[in-house]
Structure formats: C-alpha cells, structure tokens
Amino acid sequence: MSMDEQELVRQIQDGDEMAFAKIVNIYKDKIVNYLFQFTGDYQSAVDLSQETFMRVFFKANKYKPIAPFSSWIYTIASNLARTEMKKVHKAPTVSLDDLHNSYSSGAFSENPAQSGITRNIRQSLRALHPRYRIPVILKDMEGFSLEEIAQIMKRPIGTIKARISRGRNYLRRDLEAVLKEEDKDLEKKENSYGRA
Amino acid sequence: MEELNLLEKLERVKAPPDFEQKVLSLLSERKEKRCLRVRNLRFSFAGALAVLLVCFIVLNVFVFRGKESLDFSGVEKGVPAGAKRGEKLRERDYLPIIEAVEYSGEIQRPSYESQTIYILEQVSEERLEQIKY
C-alpha cells in the first residue's frame, strides 16, 4: 500500500470526508467492475459498490495496516456480494434481454460489442459457485497475486490455488458443454433450412 | 487455457459519472441517521433507567416496608399471636432468637461416681470477678 493511501485511510479514521472522496475516486471503477463480474448485473454492482464504500467509511477504525488497503476493500466487496447472492437466492442465469439491456445502458463499458463466446464465458462464470468464482475473477481478471487473494478470502494460499484450478476446470467444462449445445442447435437450424 | 485469455478480454465496466456524488450524499444521509439513532438510543436508555428507579422506589416504599414479619418472642399464653405484633415491630427492628439448650446429657449422675466432686464456676465474659470457693 502506498503511503498516500495509508495517510488517506488514517484521515478517514478521523472522519475526513475529503480523504474518503479521494479513496472513492481511486477505487470506484475497480470495485464496480469487480462486482459487475461477480453479480453480472450493472445496477446491483453499482449499489453494492456504494454500500462497500459506506462500510469503508464507517468501519475504517477496524482496518489494520498489516494488509494492503486494496485487499481490505475487496474483502468487504466480496462479502457484500456473497451476502447479496444469498439474499437473492436464485439460479444465476441471465436472459438475453437482460444482457442486451445491461449492455445497451452500459455507456460506461469500454467494449460494448459482445461476441457469442464472450457471452457464453460470462454465463459460465456466473454459474460458478462463489467459492471458485471470487478467486478466478481476482486472479484472471483483476490480476491479484495468490498471496493477495489469500488475504482477501482469508484462506491459505494452498486452498486458493486449488480453488482457482478447480474453478478454471469447471469453467472449461461448462464452456465446452455450452459450445456443444450451440453447435447442435446450429446444425438443427441448418438442416431445417436445408429441408425448407 | 483459451478461456483464461477470454476472461482477460471480457469487457470492463466503469462506475457511472455521478457515482462519487451519490456516495457522498449517501454518506451524509447515513451520518444523519446514525446521529438520530444515537440520540434515540440515549433517550431510551435514560427512560429505561428512570423507569427502573421509579419501580425500585415504589417497591421499597409500598411493598417491602408494608410486609410484616413474624415475631413470637413476646407472645404470652392465651394472647393471640398477631395481637401485639404490630406494636412490637414498631418498637424493634430485630428478631430475638431464644435457643433451648439441653444440658442433662452433659452431667453424669453423682450416684454412680460417688468420689467425684463437682465444682461449679460462674462463667462470664463480661465480669472479671474473683471466684470464691
């Protein structure tokens, strides 16, 4: 953690709103993106991000500088996301309409064009259990090291390694199954057009 | 590892432009709510303490003081037990306890031990008088 961030956190602990605004500015995009990858819903990602920053302000006194601040904020975000998932308590499926809406309203995305494979991989990612999804996202999308992920998830590094490996395997298997189904559908369509 | 490359290529989203303002306004809202909650908590705590104090006073004055305890020390034969009880309780705040002690087993009969001389001494903790035989 940089000295600036450490100083900002110390100021937040004293109730400084300006320091808090700076922290929000530094982390807003990262947290919103992480929660979007986790939940798959832009609006709930934004809401959860706001709640994350609220926790950062009100629980700042609980932060101890033994771990990087980024790990702490990602831990809060992960816990909130997991709680939200439990609350929603539904299968993590996304309809194409929802996807279309979220992308069309996502004026803030860098690359709104979604190919079929990207859509499939996102769907497979959402189907993963949070136990595997969190380390996979943190490692392969956010670029955290194993040590950092271990700090965020409060698990040993060995466990994190195993979860990432297992998560990738599940993802690969799911993706292959989805692709096979799509191929079959395509073949059926082609056959039906051929007959017509 | 094809999917991993794809994971990296998945689109990244950004926070909406007014995100910071929303967070700050939410913060001020939460702060106000928190202040209000603390104030309410303080009032309710003070109220609870006041109620407890009133209960304590009421119980002490009207319930515990009003109860009469039993006193049989001054009861005479033929007089009902409760007749003088009220007066006695007003005079004294303590209960005298009279304990009957059986000494008959302590002294052996002189007929069996004719050579034994019994010296009876006055035992008192209050006076230190010379004992004369």
Instruction: Name every chain B residue with its beta carbon within 8 A of the beta carbon of A109.
Output: 11-14
Is residue A9 within 8 Å of A69, Cβ to Cβ? yes
**Within an 8 Å CB–CB cutoff, is residue A177 touching chain B?**
no
Nearest Cα neighbor of A26 from A47, A5, A49, A7 is: A5
One-letter amino acid for residue A170 of the chain: Y
Q: With cut-offs at 50, 70 and 90, classify the pLDDT of residue A113.
A: very low
pLDDT digits (tens, 9 = 90+) for A72-102: 999 999 999 999 888 876 555 555 455 444 4
Q: Given its phi and psi angles, is residue B112 left (phi above 0), alpha (psi -120 to 50 degrees) or beta?
A: alpha
Count of CB pairs separated by less than 8 Å, A with B = 90
Q: For chain A, what is the mean pLDDT?
A: 82
Mean pLDDT within B47-60:
92
Is A146 strand, coil or helix?
A: helix
pLDDT at B118 over 60: yes
The pLDDT of B16-32, averaged and rounded, is 92
Query: Which of A134-138, A166-170, B97-101 is the least confident region?
Result: B97-101
Amino acid symbol at A106: G
pTM of the predicted model over 0.80: no
Question: What is the band of B61 on the pLDDT scale with cuts at 50, 70, 90?
Answer: confident
Q: Kindly list the domain boundaries of chain B, sorted by start residue.
A: 14-66, 71-97
In CATH terms, the fold of domain A116-196 is Arc Repressor Mutant, subunit A (1.10.10)
Token output for A142: 């956010």
Question: Whole-angstrom Cα distance, residue A29 to residue A41?
Answer: 15
Q: Which two tokens stand for residue B69?
A: 């305890």
A196 to chain B, closest Cα gap in Å: 37
Is 80 exceeded by the pLDDT of residue A166? yes
Spell out the domain ranges in chain A: 1-114, 116-196
Q: What is the mean pLDDT of residues B56-76?
A: 69
Distance in angstroms (rounded) separating the CA atoms of residues B116 and A155: 91
* DSSP codes joined into one string, B59-82: IIIIIITT------TTPPTTS-TT
Q: Which range (A17-26, A106-115, B9-18) has the least confidence?
A: A106-115
pLDDT at B130: 63
Topology annotation, domain A1-114: Rna Polymerase Sigma Factor; Chain: A (1.10.1740)
Test mutation, B12, B31, B38, chain A, max A CBs within 10 A: B12
- Given CB atoms, is A15 within the 8 Å cutoff of chain B? no
Residues of A in contact with B13 (CB under 8 A): 32-33, 36, 42, 45, 106, 108-110
**Among A175, A128, A180, A36, which residue's Cα sits nearest to residue B14?**
A36
Phi, psi of B100 (to 5 degrees): -85, 130
Q: Is the ipTM beyond the 0.85 threshold? A: no
Give Cα B53 distance to the centre of its chain: 15
Predicted local confidence at residue B122, as pLDDT: 66
Q: Which of A35, A54, A142 to mutate to test the interface with B (most CBs of B within 10 A)?
A: A54
